[in-house]
Structure 1
Amino acid sequence: MNRIKNIFTVVFFVLFSATSFAQQDSIALQREARSLLRNGNELYQQEKYTDASVLYKKALEKSATYKKASYNLGNALYLQKDYKEAVPQFELSAKAAKDKFSKAESFHNLGNSMMEQKQYQQAIDAYKNALRNNPNDDETRYNLAVAKKKLKEQKDKENKDNKDDKKDNKDKKDNKDKNDDKGDQKDDKKGDQKDEDKNKDDKKDDQNGDQKDNKDPKQNENKDNKKKEQPKKGKMTPEQIKQLLESLNNEEKKTQKKMNVEKAKGTKTNKEKDW
């Protein structure tokens, strides 16, 4: 039993010592954080907001829940117009704040950061939280009214833009439909014109064909007759035969006439001498 008691005694001593050392380390870190915060505040008063931000961040590294460091860091970032980075610092300080006045200050500055980013609904929510913690803050009440007005203007503009967009889209659609109709009508006219031109060409071709067929029937007939009258190779036509016979008859008549003349004159004969 004595051995067991001794063991418990040793364990308790070790745990107590570890706790004591942890507390001492925590106190040392908090002291360092406070020192960094004071130095940052000096730079802040000199309007050296960037350098002050560096020290505030180091203070938060020593003590992550150091609400004064996060609040002052938020203010330094806000004055550098880094509103987006300032927001989480004010949210952290509002959450860590133990009194209502500190909470109200953090929510008020949070609302201002949202206003600068034109996030009016978030700004309204922040100002309302500030007034819940400090209802007598007239500056917060005024900022809340401004945020509501800005939100209404923003929504009205969005509605107007949406209506304009819808109207533009409708006009574009109507114009597109009109253009499509015009295109269809134009295509129909082109198609009708093509059909009409084709019919004209067909009629013209038919007329030309008829004219070619009926242009000179006699000429066509003569052509046919000429084709028929053309002699075949090696044969004489009746006309040629007739002409040849007439020519022979004429020659024969001439010969006969000549012979008759000779008979009338007498012919020379050779007589033998009788001596």
Structure 2
Amino acid sequence: MKESERRINMKYSLKFKNIAALLFVASISCLTVLSAQESPKKIEREVNEFLREAQDAMGENDFASAEASYRKAIAKDPSNTAAKYNMGNLYYNREKTPEAANRLKQANEISGSKEEKHRINHNLGNSFMKQKKYEEAIEAYKNALRNNPSDEETRYNLALAKKMLEEEEQNQDQNQDQNEDQNQDENQDQQENQDQQNQDGEGGDNENEDSQPKDEGENQDKENQDEGDQEDQDQKEQQDKGGENGDEQEEQPQQQQSVQGQLSPQQIKSLLDAMDNEEKKVQDKINAEKAKGVKVKSDKDW
């Protein structure tokens, strides 16, 4: 009997231990639920504290501290729109427009109210305008007006973005036309230069072919002219020399007649031979006249 009671008590004891374990687990779960219910409020308090620190740092122009506080707020609650929006505005004012646009786009993705979306897209459009991304700016301004159609400032910025985009496209077209004209002119100049080089090459060959005979002809003409000039010079010299010789020859008989005893033996012999020939001719002529019976007159030739 005692053994049976002992076994029953043990059974109940084991059951009691299981119930205690279940109660412990349940209590832990309740504490976790209560802690989870309190967490958003704590996170909100901490995020708001970081945002205040960032605003104070901005008032003191402490960009680094403000940026650090915003990063802490975003890390604590990534769904906090204000933290990302304010950080985007911080980058925008510091001329970091790509970073500003990135944060504003993140804020726009998690924003819930139309007023938030209007302000976020308006500033997002301004960030794109600074980057000269006019198409993106136009789309951002349109989104801002969809959430607040009565904002005249956004409407003005939209018109300005459209005008800037139109001018940019016109400038691109003009630059493209200028580039095409310039390329066409360069190609034309290159073609003309090539044609000129080809013509110069052909002309150079012809000139080389024609220049040789021409040069030879010119050289030949020059040589002929030089020879003619030389001949004329020689003739002139001969004439001058002949004139001198003639004068000398004319003077020689006079000198021979005026000066006796200066004839050479050869000249004397020639004179004697000539006298004998003349006498023979005269004698032959007389004999012939005698034979004919005609009287002739004997004349001397010299």
TM class, shorter-length: 0.5 to 0.7
Of the three residues 75, 96, 104, the one matched with 1:82 is 96
What does residue 209 of structure 1 align with? none
What does residue 188 of structure 2 align with? 174
Of the three residues 196, 201, 216, the one matched with 1:187 is 201
The one-letter code sitting in structure 2 at the alignment partner of 1:160 is: Q
* 1:8 CA drift (Å): 6.9
The one-letter code sitting in structure 2 at the alignment partner of 1:118 is: K
Write out per-residue CA displacement over residues 116-159 of structure 1, whole angstroms, 9 at most, x where no aligned residue: 11101000000000000111111100100000000000100011
* 1:168 CA drift (Å): 0.6
Q: Secondary structure at the match of 2:198?
A: helix
Q: Secondary structure at the match of 1:34?
A: helix
- For 1:192 and 1:9, locate their aligned partners in 2 and report how far apart those are by CA, in whole Å: 118
What is the root-mean-square deviation of aligned Cα atoms in Å? 3.1
What does residue 256 of structure 1 align with? none
Is the counterpart of residue 52 in structure 1 residue 52 in structure 2? Answer: no
Q: Gaps spanning 5+ residues in structure 1: where?
A: 205-275
Preserved CA contact (<8 Å) 1:50 1:80: no
Q: Secondary structure at the match of 1:43?
A: helix
What does residue 124 of structure 1 align with? 138
What does residue 162 of structure 1 align with? 176
- For 1:12 and 1:130, locate their aligned partners in 2 and report how far apart those are by CA, in whole Å: 50
Q: Tell me: CA distance 1:95–1:2, structure 2 relative to 1, closer, same or farther (3 Å).
A: farther
The one-letter code sitting in structure 2 at the alignment partner of 1:155 is: E
- Give aligned-pair identity as a percent: 31
Higher gyration radius (CA) = 2
What does residue 61 of structure 1 align with? 75
In the superposition, the TM-score normalised over structure 2's length comes to: 0.60
Is the counterpart of residue 112 in structure 1 residue 126 in structure 2? Answer: yes
Q: Which has the higher contact order (CA 8 A, sep 6+)?
A: 1
What does residue 196 of structure 1 align with? 210
- For 1:85 and 1:186, locate their aligned partners in 2 and report how far apart those are by CA, in whole Å: 63
In the superposition, the TM-score normalised over structure 1's length comes to: 0.66
Q: Gaps spanning 5+ residues in structure 2: where?
A: 1-14, 219-302
5 Å-filtered alignment, 1:1-275, equals: 13-22=27-36, 24-197=38-211
- For 2:210 and 2:182, locate their aligned partners in 1 and report how far apart those are by CA, in whole Å: 41
